[in-house]
Amino acid sequence: MNRRVVITGVGLVTPVGVGVADSWEAICAGKSGIGKITRFDASAYATQIAGEVKDFDPEQFLPKKDAKRTQPFIAYALAASRMAVDDSGLVIDDANAAQVGVLTGCGLGGLRLLEDTCRVIDQKGPKRVSPFFIPMMIGNMAAGMISIQFSARGPNSSVATACAAGAHAVGDACKIIQRGAADAMIAGGVESVITPSCIAGFGAMKAISTRNDDPQKASRPFDRDRDGFVVGEGAGMMILESLDGALQRGARIYAEIVGYGMSGDGYHMTAPSPDGEGAARCMQAALDDAKLSADQIGYINAHGTSTPLNDLYETRAVKSVFKESARKVPISSTKSMTGHLLGGAGGIETVFTALAVHHGIIPPTINFDHPGEECDLDYVPNVARKAEIGYAMTNSFGFGGTNASLILRRRPE
Domain ranges of the chain: 5-248, 260-410
The mean pLDDT of 80-92, rounded to a whole number, is 98
- Could you tell me the pLDDT band of residue 302, with boundaries at 50, 70 and 90? very high
Q: Phi and psi for 171 in degrees, rounded to 5?
A: -65, -45
Environment class of 317 (CB within 10 Å of its CB; exposed 0-12, middle 13-18, buried 19+): buried
Per the DSSP assignment, residues forming a β-bridge with 36 are 49
DSSP-derived secondary structure for 115-157: HHHHHHHHHH-GGGS-TTHHHHHSTTHHHHHHHHHHT--S-EE
Amino acid residing at 131: P
Q: Do 5-248 and 260-410 show the same overall fold?
A: yes
- Identify which of 386, 353, 355 has the alpha carbon closest to the alpha carbon of residue 166: 353
**What per-residue confidence (pLDDT) applies to 1?**
65
Helix-strand-coil percent breakdown of the chain, rounded to 5? 40, 20, 40
**What per-residue confidence (pLDDT) applies to 413?**
64
Cα–Cα dist 181/154, whole Å: 8
CATH 3.20.20.70 is the classification of domain 5-248:
no
Q: Of the listed 28, 168, 198, 340, which one is catalytic?
A: 340
Mean predicted lDDT score pLDDT of the chain? 96
Q: Phi and psi for 320 in degrees, rounded to 5?
A: -65, -40
**What per-residue confidence (pLDDT) applies to 238?**
98
DSSP helix/strand/coil, 368: coil
Residue 329 pLDDT exceeds 90: yes
Whole-number Cα distances in Å, 273 to 129, 268, 276, 303: 42, 7, 5, 15
Cα–Cα dist 368/217, whole Å: 9
pTM: 0.97
For this structure, is 340 an active site residue?
A: yes
**What per-residue confidence (pLDDT) applies to 65?**
86
**What per-residue confidence (pLDDT) applies to 270?**
87
Q: What's 367's DSSP letter?
A: T
Residue 368 pLDDT exceeds 70: yes
The mean pLDDT of 191-203, rounded to a whole number, is 98
Residue 412 pLDDT exceeds 80: no
- Could you tell me the pLDDT band of residue 290, with boundaries at 50, 70 and 90? very high
**What per-residue confidence (pLDDT) applies to 271?**
86
**What per-residue confidence (pLDDT) applies to 69?**
85
Cα–Cα dist 357/19, whole Å: 19
* Residues in Cβ contact with 343 at an 8 Å cutoff, skipping those fewer than 6 apart: 105, 106, 107, 108, 139, 160, 161, 162, 163, 165, 166, 189, 190, 191
- Identify which of 152, 221, 229, 212 has the alpha carbon closest to the alpha carbon of residue 186: 152
**What per-residue confidence (pLDDT) applies to 2?**
86
The CATH class, in words, for 260-410 is: alpha beta
H/E element holding 316?
helix 308-322
Which residues in 225-264 belong to E strands, given as ranges? 234-242, 255-264
- Identify which of 135, 319, 346 has the alpha carbon closest to the alpha carbon of residue 234: 346
H/E element holding 321?
helix 308-322
**pLDDT tens, residue by residue, 104-132:** 999 999 999 999 999 999 999 999 999 99
Residue 256 pLDDT exceeds 70: yes
**What per-residue confidence (pLDDT) applies to 275?**
87
Cα–Cα dist 413/409, whole Å: 11
- Could you tell me the pLDDT band of residue 273, with boundaries at 50, 70 and 90? confident
- Could you tell me the pLDDT band of residue 67, with boundaries at 50, 70 and 90? confident
Q: Of the listed 163, 174, 198, 282, which one is catalytic?
A: 163
Q: Of the listed 282, 303, 358, 375, which one is catalytic?
A: 303
DSSP helix/strand/coil, 251: coil
The mean pLDDT of 49-53, rounded to a whole number, is 98
Cα–Cα dist 125/116, whole Å: 13
**What per-residue confidence (pLDDT) applies to 108?**
96
Cα–Cα dist 198/221, whole Å: 21
